[in-house]
Amino acid sequence: MTRTRIHLSTAAVLAMLATPLAARPAPAPTSAPADLVLLHGHVIPMTGADARAEALAVRGGRIVAVGSDAQITPLRGKATQVIDLAGRTLLPGFIDAHGHITGVAQSLGLADLSPPPVGAVGDIAGLQAALRVQAKAVADGWIFGRGYDDAELAEHRHPTRQELDAVSADRPVAIIHASGHLAVLNTKALELTGQLHGAKDPAGGVIRREADGVTANGVVEEAALWQVMAGAPRPTPAQALAQLRTAQDIYASNGLTTAQDGATSPEGWALLQGAAQAGALVLDIDALPLLNAKWPALDQLPFNQPYDHRLRVAGVKLLLDGSPQGRTAWLSHPYFVPPPGREHDYAGYPQFTDDALRGKLAEASGHKWQVYAHVNGDAAIQQYIDAIGWVAQHGPAPLVRSIAIHAQTARTDQLAAMKALDIEPSFFASHTFFWGDWHRDKVLGPQRADHISPQREAFDAGLHPTIHSDAPVTPPNVIRLIWSATTRRTRSGDILGPAERVSAYEALQEVTSNAAYEIHEEASKGTLEVGKLADLVILNGDPLTLPIEQLMTLKVSATLKEGKVIFADGTSKR
């Protein structure tokens, strides 16, 4: 995605948003003037399904009043900036319940191999063409691409190492699957990583092989992929910072004011910390150090501390299994159609033994770290539930507000167990669009696919579910998340599990108030109330009055962080 960054004064950006207000003397303010007022809008404060207002006032980066135009207008002073919403909709800034902002930044330097509607690659020939363009742009070393999807390629399979050799036999080529949990390497890359002939599968990973059972066919899964990424070339510090700036622009253009880095590596933490200290963060970023990674001194990170220059360590991340669309997630029953070379009873695989997981969770409990665990398959979800239950009985203390990330195949009984153990689910809601047909026909079969991302049941169980895009797996498009949560439309137009649809208001809760709750920030974010941060998003229409099938027509007009415009009408403001 390419965006032109335009540096504008705050007054210029506000002028782009504003329409002239009727000239009239402002009533005497009832208290100190506001820094900013937003008038004449449809304000949805997210404090109740029927709560509405027309206007809002901001002072010192926080909300000082929400009400009617008549109530807010007297807060205008001579220096007050004014945005005329002109009937547009004002909501709390959207919160990224799970994503990887440093991953979005890193992906900007790679060939985009995504299928429509994200990219343009529809077959292996198109994939090869995109990689050849990348090879010319990067004169030497590795050729990297990301986002290819065997579910959407015309061939309905992964490319082979020989097909990547056709791009370059002399340079290593690696392409990352849309899920981020698999990759394909050419022969040179397999040689460099020691995986071409006779290498053992690493713990928690698989090297897929050719008919001889020895030679790698190019596809690597999970831990075998991490070995590749560890040796991949890195951008310079200046390039990495520039990419992070652009990633923030992309998030802001989608109405997001709080982002997550949902599997922070030591290298990623250094980038975020450097950016924070340089004043380069315009969004709040919640970092989740990956416990699967090797940290020299994890307990020295600033856990349980407030934001420092818009950066905080919000908890720790664990990966318990893989990807359902890549068929590496750990299920309790076999895949509907197993991947090539797998037996009929194949059901994926775990990343931790039970004892190892208990140890990690007990460590988190002892440090009072919030835990965010990637759990796609119901077997992984059950392992997580059981281990949290064990910690409650045998650990230093019960874990508080643990998060089950993705929870794609969560069963009804597991949602009840989550409620009992203070576990909150965060669902990858747009999976129903991007991979719903694939899940129905190849991954889970019709019955299990209908129950994927069971948001309706989660609400009914008394949980605080959220929805996320898992960027860069899919773009951080919050409007698509809301549309997917309410319609559950697939690419083919099917409705996957209509009983699990939620209302538009509930979908908005999942990206505002519920999202704030899950990250322990409900006191300062998620609703438009006096005293909370003025993190705001302006939409060109009202998601609560539009028919749900038209929600994808909504556009973000502007995004404000603590009352300052960071995105407006196609431009970003720094």
pLDDT (tens, 9 = 90+) of the chain, 574 residues, equals 433 333 334 444 444 454 433 333 333 344 699 999 999 999 999 999 999 999 999 999 999 999 999 999 999 999 999 999 999 999 999 999 999 999 999 999 899 999 999 999 999 999 999 999 999 999 889 999 999 999 999 999 999 999 999 999 999 999 999 999 999 999 999 999 999 998 899 988 999 999 999 999 999 999 888 777 776 778 889 999 999 999 999 999 999 999 999 999 999 999 999 999 999 999 999 999 999 888 989 999 999 999 999 999 999 999 999 999 999 999 999 999 999 889 999 999 999 999 999 999 999 999 999 999 999 999 999 999 999 999 999 999 999 999 999 999 999 999 999 999 999 999 999 999 999 999 999 999 999 999 999 999 999 999 999 999 999 999 999 999 999 999 999 999 999 999 999 999 999 999 999 999 999 999 999 999 999 999 999 999 999 999 999 999 999 999 999 999 999 985 545 4
Phi, psi of 66 (to 5 degrees): -135, 130
Q: Sheet containing 556-561: which strands, arranged edge to edge?
A: 42-43, 89-92, 536-539, 556-561, 564-568, 571-572
SS3 call for 382:
helix
CB of 44 within 8 A of CB of 65? no
Q: Is the distance from CB of 557 to CB of 539 less than 8 angstroms? A: yes
pLDDT at res. 227: 73
Task: Mention every residue, 6+ apart, whose C-beta is less than 8 A from residue 343.
Answer: none
DSSP one-letter string for 415-456 = HHHHHHTTEEEEE-TTHHHHTHHHIIIIIS-HHHHHTSS-HH
Q: Provide the pLDDT for residue 8.
A: 36
CA distance 11 to 21: 15
Contact in structure between 536 and 562 (CB atoms under 8 Å)? no
Q: Are 112 and 146 in contact (CB under 8 A)?
A: yes
Q: Which two tokens stand for residue 532?
A: 């909370």
331, 379 contact by CB (below 8 A): yes
Q: Tell me the pairing of strands 564-568 and 571-572.
A: antiparallel
| 335 in Cβ contact with 346 (< 8 Å) | yes
Single-letter amino acid, residue 237 = P
Contact 16, 568 (CB under 8 A): yes
**CA angle (200, 206, 212) in 5-degree steps:** 65
Helix (H) or strand (E) holding 565: strand 564-568
CATH class of 110-230: alpha beta
Q: Which residue has the tokens 């995605």?
A: 1
How do beta strands 89-92 and 536-539 pair?
Answer: antiparallel
| CA-based torsion, 309, 558, 468, 271: positive or negative | negative
DSSP class of 549: G
Phi first, then psi, for residue 80 (nearest 5°) are -70, 130
- C-beta neighbour count of 295 within 10 angstroms: 16
**pLDDT at site 31:** 67
Q: Do domains 110-230 and 247-526 have the same CATH topology?
A: no
- Distance from C-alpha of 101 to C-alpha of 107, rounded to nearest angstrom: 10
Yes or no: say if 234 and 243 are a contact pair by the CB < 8 Å rule.
no
Could you give the CA distance from residue 248 to residue 105 in angstroms, rounded to a whole number? 8
Cα distances from 32 to residues 61, 65, 76, 158, 288, in angstroms, run 14, 12, 9, 63, 40
137 C-beta neighbours (distance < 10 Å), count: 10
Tokens of 506: 């509930």
Residue 351 tokens read as 């990343």
- CA–CA gap between residue 550 and residue 91 (Å, rounded): 18
Of 145, 249, 180, give the one whose Cα is nearest residue 472: 180
Contact between 252 and 572 (Cβ < 8 Å): yes
478-487 helix and 504-511 helix, angle to the nearest 10 degrees: 140
Strand, coil or helix: what is 317?
strand
Sequence spans of domains, the chain: 110-230, 247-526
In the beta sheet, which residues pair with residue 402?
Answer: 423
Q: Note the CATH number of domain 247-526.
A: 3.20.20.140
3-state secondary structure of 169: coil
Place of tokens 């576990």: 423
CA-closest candidate to residue 539, choices 74, 86, 15: 86
* 305-309 own/partner pairs: CB under 8 Å, 24+ apart: 308/276, 309/276, 309/277, 309/279, 309/281
| Residue 381 DSSP SS3 | helix
Which candidate, 275, 281, 261, 212, places its Cα nearest to that of 96? 261
Secondary structure (3-state) at 537: strand
In the structure encoding, which two tokens stand for residue 522, read together? 């409900």
Q: Is the dihedral of CA 22, 28, 33, 37 positive or negative?
A: negative
pLDDT reported for residue 229: 77
Write the CB contacts of 546 (distance below 8 Å, at least 6 apart in sequence). 504, 553, 554
The backbone torsions φ and ψ at residue 64, rounded to the nearest 5 degrees and listed phi first, read: -110, -15
- Give the Cα separation of 329 and 351 in Å (integer): 10
- One-letter identity of residue 215: T
Tokens of 1: 């995605």
Place of tokens 């007009």: 557
